[in-house]
Amino acid sequence: MITLDNLSKSFGSRVLFENVTMTFNDGCRYGLTGPNGCGKSTILKIMMGLEQATSGNVFLPKKVGFLKQNIESFSEFRVIDAVIMGNKKLWEALSERELLYTEEMTDEIGIRLGEIEEVIAEEDGYSSESEAEQLLSGMGIYGDMHYEKMGSIPLDRQFRVLLCQALFGKPKALLLDEPTNNLDLESISWLETFLKNYSGSLIVISHDRHFLNAITTHIADIDYETVILYPGNYDEMVVTKTSVRERSEADIKNKEKKIAQLREFVAKFGAGTRASQVQSRLKEIDRLQPQDLKKSNIQRPYIRFILPDAQSGKIAFKIENCYKSYDEKKIMQDFSCDILRGEKIAVIGNNGMGKSTLLKLLAQVISPDKGSVALGHMVKVGYFPQIHTDLVEKKKGTNLFDWLKTKKPDSYDQDIRGVLGKMLFGGDDAFKEVSALSGGETARLIISALMLTQPNTLILDEPNNHLDLEAVSALAWGLNEFKGTVVFASHDRDLISKVATKILAFDKEGLSLFLGNLDEYLARKK
């Protein structure tokens, strides 16, 4: 159980939330929602004592699992040790025991070793390695990799290890900030099953709508400078929140209409013989005065990709007898495929199998070892890379407006300001330095560039990473409305289900094209 008591947090004059009092109960799974910058990660850091609240208190159970983000701190530790570090008390005991065994044995050291063994037994330390191995295997990290150093394994696997660290040691509460980032569909499915069986208090932040809908029993939504608790999953919260807001707005309109009628009566008979009736009307007007509704902090960008007059030919991409490998890892062998104008294709598969490589081949960023990947007639590609800095160089002194101007030098200033405004960079935000942008802001800037330059073909590599739920919904709408060709990689099942009509899948048999949507593909695979 986690309890917040009159918790408030503000930065200068900006209030994130104030006087929040609520309890997160055992056996319940809470999604913490709200747009980027509303304070979701801040409230988790306050719970863990990593950041100070402006006022109020937090009460936690004895053992809490927290998904850390400081991945560099674990680079020299073995993978299995990094997981066991999730139980700080156990890890300190194991480390001290190992150190004492290097010293000459004395009565004092013997007594201390006995005390340490008691701690290890209390913390289930003798089964710690098997528990850690089970968690790692669930995340797709097997065998010899358990004993390699963190810094020597792929970055996405390192993030999975930190997730295992948070889950290790049977914590009574779990605080997870974007746990599905860097996870493939198979690992997300395993995590969903694990969390559904978790008996403690779970608080999770995620931009993956499908994931939130699958695991949450409640939504704690940060809005109106407070945290509002809704029963049910994310979609149910959206329906309830919208209807409550609409009722409040309708109530204000009804009051304003009634007040207008009363004022008309007062104006008509104020100087006449009906003074008592006028006074009662004036009192009624005071009673009916509506309170101003607090402004919601939810902002949805408007994403629309306009197809230029110059459409591509019928075939957007022609892939013929394509081979590509890195070192000894074969990405694709003798793969051939035509991608037609107007198709919406999702590229799926476990991490490391070659999704980004395929998209780079299509975007002409790299070339195949053998065979060819040819652009069709009049194809104009817009590319969204998974690593944002491949496209957006974080140079100091370059602002958003100037960066966009380089993408289309002949564009009018109002066109640039227009796309920035649609992506929530209004007013002076248009002149914010690119070097100061967060991950979500950088993603919105890249989408701004795609809207400005108007390609007829979009190649998108994990475009939803770092975007909040409102932005991901806007992206899905924009891709659905786009009349051009779209090939994109994502682990967000909601985005894939809403956009893709075909699937390019990497699996154990290699790369293949499936003529159907994600649900049909998964059903066939089962």
Beta bridge mates, 277: none
| Same domain (yes/no): 216, 249 | no
Q: Tell me the pLDDT band of 185, cut-offs 50, 70 and 90.
A: confident
| Same domain (yes/no): 193, 81 | yes
What pLDDT, in 10s, does the model give residues 21-65? 999 999 999 999 988 778 888 999 999 888 899 999 999 988 888
| Same domain (yes/no): 154, 265 | no
| Same domain (yes/no): 284, 400 | no
Displacement of CA 300 from its chain's centroid (Å): 15
| Same domain (yes/no): 226, 267 | no
| Same domain (yes/no): 271, 385 | no
Position 429, amino acid: D
- What average pLDDT does this structure show over 441-450? 93
- pLDDT score of 195 more than 70: yes
- What average pLDDT does this structure show over 219-235? 90
**b/e per residue, 364-374, with b = 16+ CB within 10 A?**
eeeebeebebe
Q: What is the pLDDT of residue 290?
A: 63
The two three-digit tokens of residue 379, written as one number: 């194809």
* SS3 assignment, position 243: helix
Mean pLDDT of the chain: 87
- What average pLDDT does this structure show over 223-239? 89
| Same domain (yes/no): 56, 203 | yes
Any domain includes 305: no
Q: Tell me the pLDDT band of 272, cut-offs 50, 70 and 90.
A: low
* SS3 assignment, position 389: helix
Q: Tell me the pLDDT band of 273, cut-offs 50, 70 and 90.
A: low
Q: What is the pLDDT of residue 415?
A: 93
Domain closes at, from 196, 220, 236: 236
- pLDDT score of 321 more than 90: yes
Query: How far separated are the first and last CA of the chain, in Å rounded?
Result: 38
Q: What's the DSSP call for residue 149? A: B
**Residue 462 CA: distances (Å) to CA of 203, 348, 355:** 24, 10, 10
Q: Tell me the pLDDT band of 1, cut-offs 50, 70 and 90.
A: confident
- pLDDT score of 308 more than 90: no
- pLDDT score of 446 more than 60: yes
- What average pLDDT does this structure show over 296-302? 77
Alpha helix positions (H), 48-206:
79-84, 88-100, 107-122, 128-138, 155-167, 185-196
- pLDDT score of 287 more than 90: no
CA dihedral 484→490→496→498, nearest 10 degrees, is: -70
| Same domain (yes/no): 227, 253 | no
Q: What is the pLDDT of residue 146?
A: 93
Note the pTM of the prediction, 2 decimals.
0.74
Any domain includes 299: no
Q: What is the pLDDT of residue 267?
A: 75
Q: What is the pLDDT of residue 294?
A: 64
Angle (deg, nearest 10), helices 128-138 and 155-167: 130
Identify the CA nearest to 296 among candidates 242, 230, 235, 232.
242
- What average pLDDT does this structure show over 71-95? 90
Residue recorded with tokens 């073909």: 457
What is the rounded CA–CA span in Å between residue 259 and residue 282?
9
Q: What is the pLDDT of residue 246?
A: 66
Q: What is the pLDDT of residue 501?
A: 93
Host domain of residue 333: 315-525
| Same domain (yes/no): 331, 474 | yes
- What average pLDDT does this structure show over 389-418? 88
What pLDDT, in 10s, does the model give residues 129-179? 999 999 998 888 888 889 999 988 887 788 889 989 988 988 899 999 888
Q: Angle at CA 147, nearest 5°, toward 143 and 149? A: 130
Q: Tell me the pLDDT band of 349, cut-offs 50, 70 and 90.
A: confident
- pLDDT score of 475 more than 90: yes
When divided into structural domains, the chain yields a total of 3
